[in-house]
Amino acid sequence: MQMKNTIIDTLVMDFLAVSQQAAVASYPWIGRGNKMEADEAGTGAMRKRMNLIDMCGVVVIGEGEMDEAPMLYINEKLGTGKGPLVDIAVDPVEGTTLMAKGQENSLSVLAVATSGSLLHAPDMYMKKIAVGPKAKGCINIDLPLTENIKSVANALEKDIKELTIMIQDRPRHEELINEVIKSGAKVRLFSDVDITGAIATAIDDLNVDMLVGTGGAPEGVIAATALKCLGGDFQARLLPQNEEEMKRCISMGITHPEKALKIDEIVKTDDCFFVATGITDGMLLRGVQKNATGAMLTHSLVIVGGEIKNSQFIDANFF
C-alpha cells in the first residue's frame, strides 16, 4: 500500500475532527475583539486532539517558536508516536482579526503531507500567484502580471475582460490593482485570508480566475497544498525584509531565499491533504452555529487528491 493511501485512510477523519474542535473552541470569541484569547482557545483544542492521533507528526508551519507557547510552534512533535511520519502545517484561527470583529471568512485550517514534503516556510512575506487546474502550467511569477493575465485568459478560453483577479486590499498592492484594471480584467479585493482566494481559483462556481499578491509565507504553503490536491498551480517567492530574515531562511534549509518556487518545490509529494472548518461564514464555508438544543453545527472542507468534500456535523459533546 502506498503512503498516500495510508495517510488518507488513517488520518483524514482524525484531522477533520481537529479542525472542527479548533473552530468550536474559537466560537465563543467571535465578535469579542480579543484575538489572543481566540487563538489560544483554538490552539489548545487543536493540540489536544492531535496528540490523540496515532502518528509521528511534526509542525513545519506553526505560529512561532517553542518559547512562544501556547501557540503550536515550529518543530513541535504531535501524536502518539505511532503511525505515519507526517509534516503538519496549521493555523488554528486564520483571520483572527476578522473573527474578533465578527466578520466573515475566518477559518481553522491545516495541511498534512508525508514527512519532509512541505516547505519549512518562515513567518515572513511571500509573493504569490495561484490559479486553478485549467490554467496549470500557464503562470510564471518572473513575468509581469499583465503577461500572466494574458496567459491565463488564453488557457481558460476567456476574454481578458471576463477574468476576475483576487488581490488583498493593502497599500502594497496598489500597483498590482492598477495593472489588473489597465489590462481590462476585473479586481476582487478582500481584507484577509488569502488561503480562501487561492482555493477559490480551483472552484468554478466561485468565479475567481487568479489570486496574486504578497502575504504570509506559512499561509502560502497551506494554500499550495490545497491547490496541489485540486490539480491547480501555485508559484511563490520569499521576500525577506532584512538580514535577520535572510538568516532565518538559511537556518530552515532555504539556501536561496530569492529563488522562485514552483508548487512541486513547496509541496514535494502528492501524498497530502487539506482540511478547513469555518469559524464565521465566508466564501468557502459557513461558520460554527449553535442550534436550539445547544449542539454545535460545523461546516468543513476536505480536499484530497482532487476531491472536494463538504462535511456538516452536529455534535453537542465535542469535548
- What span, in angstroms and rounded, lies between the C-alpha atoms of 281 and 104? 5
306 falls in which pLDDT band (50, 70, 90)? low
| Whether the predicted model's global pTM rises above the 0.85 cut | yes
Q: How many helices (H) and strands (E) does the chain have?
A: 9, 14
Instruction: Work out how many domains the chain is built from and give that number.
Output: 2
Same domain, 259 and 135: yes
- What span, in angstroms and rounded, lies between the C-alpha atoms of 219 and 198? 10
- What span, in angstroms and rounded, lies between the C-alpha atoms of 297 and 290? 6
Mean pLDDT is lowest, of 41-50, 157-166, 247-256, for 247-256
Show the cell assigned to 127. Answer: 509573493
Domain span including residue 62 = 3-116+271-315
Same domain, 278 and 259: no
pLDDT higher than 90, residue 6: no
Same domain, 88 and 13: yes
Rounded (to 5) percent helix, strand, coil in the chain: 35, 25, 35
Same domain, 179 and 310: no
- What span, in angstroms and rounded, lies between the C-alpha atoms of 261 and 254? 11
Same domain, 259 and 133: yes
Question: According to the model, what pLDDT value does residue 72 have?
Answer: 86
Same domain, 308 and 277: yes
